[in-house]
Amino acid sequence: MVQAEILDILFTYLKAFAVGGGICLIAQFIINFTDLTAGKILVYFMLAGVVLTAIGVYQPLVEFAGAGATVPISGFGYLLANGAMKGAEKGFFYAITGSLTAASAGVTAAVVFAFIMALIFKSRTKRN
């Protein structure tokens, strides 16, 4: 029984690594073979997460890979679209605020931890 649980955990990690790595591989190809800036690539991946969620493709990917699909920036697009769709079930106003509600914990954590790091470390300009 313990071996089956260990294999299940390892398989879960393998799925997350494969899907997350695949998303990162696509991004690396885009970086290497196009002239797109990093900001544009981030926006395109976030929008891809929104579009794939809207057409129903991203949810099965999240169910299959878990964190491998939700951690990359396309997962943020999934989170925003999913929150808006769940909010839309309650009404128009909730469709607008649903995505903000869904993303609020992650954004708040990023701001708080960035503030703490700014207090601890001294920022400086990168030297070439």
What is the average per-residue pLDDT within 120-127? 82
Q: What is the pLDDT of residue 16?
A: 94
Q: What is the pLDDT of residues 90-101, one digit of tens each?
A: 988 888 898 888
Q: What is the pTM of this model?
A: 0.78
Q: What is the pLDDT of residues 35-70, one digit of tens each?
A: 999 899 999 999 999 999 999 999 999 999 999 998
Position 70, amino acid: T
**Environment class of 78 (CB within 10 Å of its CB; exposed 0-12, middle 13-18, buried 19+):** buried
Angstrom distances, CA of residue 30 to CA of 9, 13, 24, 25 = 32, 26, 10, 9
Whether residue 95 contacts residue 88, with contact meaning beta carbons closer than 8 Å, is answered with yes
Tokens of 26: 């696509």
Q: Would you say residue 89 has pLDDT above 80?
A: yes
